[in-house]
């Protein structure tokens, strides 16, 4: 009987040791890679796309992520127009080329990088920080898109080509932004037809100040 108690005591100690070891191990969720960080580090700007536009159901999810971005005083000082109709996109490109007759029309038309789904974002003229809000929204959309297998590119040159001449007034009017809003930036979306490598980042630009 004494041997039995000794044996049971040893087994109990061993089991207790195993339980303690398990408690010292971090929870599984803490060991897994953080998916937000992984998406941020993996995302690339895509400049070559497959021809099919992004499904509208998927774009709806991307847009929801966008409008849930932080923004000043919750003004949500943005307006968004999504164009996935190639006929209208051709109309926009033709207007831009017409408005800049002294420039290479193919260069101007190529500024959208062939993205089959284009997003036009306007900022509120009446709110000083609206451009920041638009940028935050765009980043939310680009990151969420990448997590769904959709590439993207943030574009500024189409804004310049569309807003500095009268020839583009009809297509801007067709986008239908409110009177107090002006085009701020464009974001192209689509399925990537390239896999660019990451470009180096300068960590020296970051400093802690004590």
Entry pTM: 0.83
Q: Are residues 86 and 152 in the same domain?
A: yes
Q: Are residues 16 and 41 in the same domain?
A: no
Residue 156 pLDDT exceeds 80: yes
pLDDT tens, 97-129?
Answer: 999 999 999 999 999 999 999 999 999 999 999
Residue 195 covered by a domain: no
Q: Are residues 9 and 74 in the same domain?
A: no
Residue 203 covered by a domain: no
31: left (phi over 0), alpha (psi -120 to 50) or beta: alpha
Of 80, 104, 82, nearest to 93 (Cα)?
104
Residue 198 covered by a domain: no
Q: Are residues 20 and 86 in the same domain?
A: no
Residue 28 pLDDT exceeds 70: no
Q: Are residues 13 and 104 in the same domain?
A: no
Q: Are residues 22 and 94 in the same domain?
A: no
Q: Are residues 23 and 88 in the same domain?
A: no
Residue 201 covered by a domain: no
Residue 197 pLDDT exceeds 90: yes
Of 88, 145, 153, nearest to 114 (Cα)?
153
pLDDT band at 11 (very low <50, low <70, confident <90, very high): very low
pLDDT band at 32 (very low <50, low <70, confident <90, very high): low
Domain that holds residue 27: 2-31
Gap between the Cα atoms of 27 and 118, Å rounded: 42
Q: What's the average model confidence in pLDDT over 162-173?
A: 96
Q: Are residues 132 and 169 in the same domain?
A: yes
pLDDT band at 33 (very low <50, low <70, confident <90, very high): confident
CATH of the domain at 54: 3.40.109.10
Q: Are residues 11 and 91 in the same domain?
A: no
Place of tokens 């036009």: 120
Residue 31 pLDDT exceeds 70: no
Q: Are residues 17 and 45 in the same domain?
A: no
Q: What's the average model confidence in pLDDT over 56-68?
A: 98
Which tokens in the block code for residue 174? Answer: 């067709």
Residue 29 pLDDT exceeds 60: no
Q: Are residues 18 and 61 in the same domain?
A: no
Residue 13 covered by a domain: yes
pLDDT band at 20 (very low <50, low <70, confident <90, very high): very low
Answer yes or no: are the C-beta atoms of 172 and 99 closer than 8 Å.
Answer: no
Q: What's the average model confidence in pLDDT over 132-139?
A: 98
Q: Are residues 21 and 114 in the same domain?
A: no
Q: What's the average model confidence in pLDDT over 150-176?
A: 97
């Amino acid at each position: 009987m004494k041997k039995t108690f000794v044996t049971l005591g040893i087994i109990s100690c061993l089991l207790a040791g195993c339980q303690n070891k398990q408690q010292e191990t971090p929870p599984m969720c803490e060991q897994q890679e953080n998916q937000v960080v992984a998406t941020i580090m993996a995302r690339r700007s895509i400049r070559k796309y497959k021809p099919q536009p992004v499904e509208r159901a998927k774009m709806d999810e991307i847009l929801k992520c966008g409008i849930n971005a932080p923004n000043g005083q919750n003004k949500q000082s943005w307006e968004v127009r999504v164009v996935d109709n190639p006929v209208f996109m051709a109309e926009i490109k033709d207007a831009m080329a017409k408005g800049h007759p002294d420039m290479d029309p193919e260069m101007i038309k190529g500024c959208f990088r062939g993205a089959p789904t284009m997003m036009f974002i306007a900022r509120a003229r009446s709110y000083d920080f609206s451009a920041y809000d638009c940028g935050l929204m765009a980043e939310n959309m680009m990151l969420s898109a990448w997590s769904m297998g959709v590439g993207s590119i943030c574009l500024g040159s189409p804004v310049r080509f569309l807003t500095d001449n009268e020839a583009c007034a009809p297509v801007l009017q067709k986008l239908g932004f409110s009177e107090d809003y002006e085009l701020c930036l464009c974001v192209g979306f689509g399925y990537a037809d390239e896999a660019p490598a990451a470009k180096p980042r300068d960590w020296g630009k970051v400093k802690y100040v004590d």
